[in-house]
Structure 1
Amino acid sequence: MWVNTLRCPEGIEKVFPGPFACYNRLFDPGSQLDSYALIEETLHTYGPFDGAFGFSQGAALIVSYLLERRAAYPDESLPFRFLILCSPVVPLAGNAEYCHRILGCLSRDNESRIRSCQDTQISDLPERARIAMTMLTDILDASTTITQEPRRFYLDRELPDVPCALHPDLCLTRLPVATLHVRGTTDAKALWNCGFLIQSFFDSPKLRVFEHKSGHDIPRSGPEVRQMLCAMEWIIAQSELP
């Protein structure tokens, strides 16, 4: 969800010229649309691309972008033949119609339940809102060491600015893209579960899962790096088949 520039660690600019972008902290629908615009600009300026590789928020963002693009333009081909998704977090919506369907019609009492940030209150929300908010709060709790923000930072807002999760039970769009799903066996349970939910968005038979012994990370050991490389080569080869 990169929309702001970031000062990079010393020495990186000698390898990559920049600019260096950082993730958007707000996670709201407007920020999602800003991120989609950056993807569109990149596709237009530097594309076409055969595939995309994403980690954590990057993986979730590319899934969000493709889902909402597919929903808006179902007859258009997608810009990637394959995806490599490593430890994705929750995919978030930018589409106003989807967000309104999930959160926009809530009563003031239900809006207060969201703002309370309490599981006991969120569990009393109408079904669609409860599914989306539970998925979101599980990931927010699991990633606080990264975001350095409590639930209230994201939930105590006007409803149009509350992050809205794309859940496979609520977003029925599916992606016919060859996909490698990579996850660490010691990742937080909520993040591990999120990987399975994201996997549900894909209906291509060209799918492979690679699990490694790290947590919210990519493989680091030599054998696992080689195994992941083999899995990447396999999914790329599959994407080139009819």
Structure 2
Amino acid sequence: MSLCLWTVPSCASKVLVSLPVIQRLIPPATDRRLAKHTGMAAFDGPFFSHTAGYSPDQMIEAHDHLDAIIDELGPFGGILGFSQGGALALSYLHGKQSQNEVQPFKFALIMSSVIPCSADASECEDVIQSLCARELSETHFPPVDHDQRLFAELLDRTVREARRNNALLPDIDLSVYDAGGDPSLAPRVMHPSFVKKKIWIPTVHVTGKKDYGFMRAMSDVAHAVCEPKLAKQLVHGGGHQPPQKPAEVREVIRAMGWAIGLSDRFAHWNL
């Protein structure tokens, strides 16, 4: 049995409609309640979000809630995450690994992930503190050192571009990175160049070719924080959704078979 983490706004009926092939295999796993949005009238709700925000403290709260779900409903063999749910899954897996805890999942299927944020306040702490000392929002790319520029460029092509396009996710307030901002509140975006240790379980990453460029860029970040030897990346012909065409679904199923087989080989690893 696998745990499913969907996007925001989310409800169990929406998950079942989106994944008809495996609807009998996934339990609803949802979090904080949100108001019903226009366009969601086809679903009864209630609607939820996995996080109240993306600061380290808020991510810790989301991780703790996920721990409680696993304790109550687990154990699970794998985890499936879509959009915000995919980002939370990766953040959670990375957190367990960083704390040298046994992973509660053997493999992960990540679909159209938004950018993952760490619950560890020390993640990217130096570069975030230095950016908070500058007016990042008032100058497109300030004359900063190499690490600052890498982080600023990632924010620009993902989070900032999402805001320019009025995207619902990720709802990150970029003003926290401005001069005078509180670094403790700044989301620890998991930049692949600064993640100390890649996620070391088999992962399959699925992205839509017609998704927005900034969404595909965030999914690329999600893929890049995983160990390359244990990760597969697939592209389907749709947008910000799971694959719908039978041939594309079969490709995902084959990739999941690969991930499950690989996880069985590593079943006794304490990573």
Q: Same-fold call, TM > 0.5?
A: yes
Q: Is residue 42 of structure 1 aligned with residue 49 of structure 2? A: no
Residue number in structure 1 paired with 2:56: 29
Q: Which runs of 5+ in 2 are unaligned?
A: 1-7, 9-29, 267-271
- 1:4 aligned partner: 32
Query: TM-score when scaled to structure 1?
Result: 0.79
Which stretch shifts more, 171-180 or 198-207? 198-207
Query: Is the Cα contact below 8 Å between 2:157 and 2:217 reproduced in 1?
Result: no
Q: TM-score, normalised by structure 2?
A: 0.71
1:173 corresponds, among 179, 186, 197, to 197
Q: Tell me, what secondary structure is at the counterpart of 1:70?
A: helix
Question: Aligned to 1:220, which of 213, 228, 244?
Answer: 244
Residue type of the alignment partner of 1:44 = D
Partner of 1:202: 226
Number of residue pairs aligned between Structure 1 and Structure 2: 230
Q: Which amino acid aligns with 2:121?
A: A
CA offset at residue 173 of structure 1? 0.9
1:82 is displaced (CA, Å) by 0.5
Q: 2:141 aligns with which of 107, 120, 136?
A: 120
Residue in structure 2 matching 1:81, options 86, 106, 111:
106
Q: Does 1:160 align with 2:217?
A: no
Q: In 2, Cα distance between the equivalents of 1:206 and 1:99?
A: 24
Counterpart Cα distance in 1 of 2:230 and 2:200: 9
| C-alpha separation in 2, matches of 1:207 and 1:236 | 12
Identity across the alignment (%): 23
Distance 1:43 1:60, change over 3 A: same
Question: How far off is 1:171 after superposition?
Answer: 1.4
**Cα distance in 2, alignment partners of residues 238 and 112 from structure 1:** 45
Q: Determine if the alignment matches structure 1 residue 132 to structure 2 residue 159.
A: no
Could you list the per-position Cα deviations for residues 53-75 of structure 1 after superposition, in whole angstroms to 9, with x for gaps in the alignment? 011121112111221221222xx
Q: Is residue 183 from structure 1 mapped to residue 207 from structure 2 by the alignment? A: yes
**Separation in 2 of the partners of 1:32 and 1:133?**
21
In structure 1, how many angstroms separate the alpha carbons of the residues matched to 2:147 and 2:117? 15
Q: Is the 8 A contact 1:180 1:208 kept in 2?
A: yes
SS at match of 2:95: helix
What's 1:70 paired with?
A: 97
2:22 aligns with none
Asked if 1:102 is matched to 2:102, the reply is: no
Partner-residue secondary structure (3-state), 1:186: coil
Amino acid at match of 2:82: F
Unaligned runs of 5+ in 1: none
Matched residue SS, 2:122:
helix
Tell me the amino acid that sits aligned with residue 150 of structure 2: I
| Coordinate RMSD, CA, aligned | 3.0
The whole-number CA distance in structure 1 between the counterparts of 2:239 and 2:247 is: 16
Distance of 2:176 and 2:112 partners within structure 1: 21
